Structure 1
């Protein structure tokens, strides 16, 4: 639909190798072997499979132990996606084109929705990344020991590490294209807008985790069960409030830095530093307690998250490894194919953090049911209502 093609999106889609006018309709299926390059179907399969498995295990945990926390997390993240993403794809349709131009364009994948705007894997990546980060922090007992807010900050920190491994690689492999002239995307952190590095990688997961733990998780930890209707309305509220949090948490940067890109960049970076300074000592201290068996937090385990975190990091390591020759040969931040490169040092740090967080969960005590039953020390509900 050519009338849905803004000049910016048309330019970005052309750079990615497809025509906005021929991007399909509400749903479009393509041959995975005919995509831009081989990394697209590999990424797509990894993310979609992980997200589906995360949903399956969340349902099983709810049915077997009455713990709907990960289920609320999965659907809350998905609800957040459908609140946030459509206005970014179609600013004119939502009446915000005077304030927000097209920020980016995804490349076309095997399964796409909304005229080439929304690949299936993007729908899947929100709940998958949220599940991995939230459950890794939960396995370390941070929520129970330090409360909702500190636990949510730790989720944002871990999510940032996992997400940035992907975020810093995408532009080089043509998974998407950023509009680098859009003021909303300024300042840039090499190939990635700093607002993406901070807001979408760290702050929105904080908002989501805070809402999930406040409305569902902390009650489940005390042994409460939820009816299906109670879970539905709480999940809807989680999605809406998490979306609001995405606008509230970056306010220091977006408001105080409104007149200066430099100030805005400094404040974005400062928020990420604060998250890091809170999360690192908390995660280290709690891991040490669990390792030394001096923690009074009941053991909690999720084997799926342990295993799929390793799978995700392995696949991303492979993709980064194959992209490294072109990365190292890039001149002025651009490869010989004309693709911008991300920040390798930030990526290495994120890999290190993610690997350490996953490794930590393999070294702490586990409950006997290993994530498929009640958390040790909690009462077992007789039925899921």
Structure 2
């Protein structure tokens, strides 16, 4: 195909140039904001070369570091990854046919090594989500294993939410050699804020893919929720393992707020028009809405009511919407009725003494707690 490209892409099309020069040419080309049709045509017609240039450039960086002690900046690697992301999104049909499947999985594992700089890991993890979305195969044990072994949490280490946990140490893939020494994390430790933003990005990604909800719900249940809310999952029967060691004892309030907002959005979606199928999927097994209700109930008790009043208000609105709802599809009447009743019960505990619970680490702030059996202080 004859390309009418700006000069920034010419160096890539010249095979006599080295891999780094060709890749930087592609980066400059993408930075110039070309037309989508034009850039997609370039990547589609040269997909094999683009991928080879990416791999060769990463290996070249490794070689230069071992030989001369020089290494690229973090921003340069992020630019490389932007090209990789563009490639995957352009050749989706090939990706679904498992083109370079093993090679791509290996690249993900190397770049998600917990010893690599957190900014690189976060960028790679975002690309991994798109890769999984393109594959759209809930039975792909390799993809699920890559996530469930702790890649999400490897993306937060070190210095982040799961610093030093046994779960991380046993689960995160560690690749000998590879790129870990090239972009070490010692000057880029992630923080709890980084962890929160990463989880937020995952939930936003899931929010945008309601058609694939079953697949993505299983993923976030077995990864994010499993680590952040192990006691709740154990109590409602979503897991049968003892989660006492290697998991978070108490989810940080900031993270709890992010999770609660996500769950409330799904509560609102369930009660929305034309969402009978979605409600049926989520509420088919009682353990799922038991988990949602207990998780929200925990947030009602632990979050600051003034700072997070919107969460309480939206939860009340869910109940009001159910009470006022008309012509609700019969397919989810019974299960949704139980769900909303349980949600209302959790809200009522804000105004009445909460019974002893394994989910809440501190007592209720309600004045009722100080009342005697006759209702007197």
Q: Which TM-score bucket, shorter chain as reference?
A: under 0.3
Using CA pairs under 8 Å that are at least 6 residues apart, name the structure with larger relative contact order, 1 or 2: 1
TM-score scaled by length of structure 2? 0.25
User: Looking at CA atoms only, which structure, 1 or 2, has the larger radius of gyration?
Assistant: 2
TM-score scaled by length of structure 1? 0.25
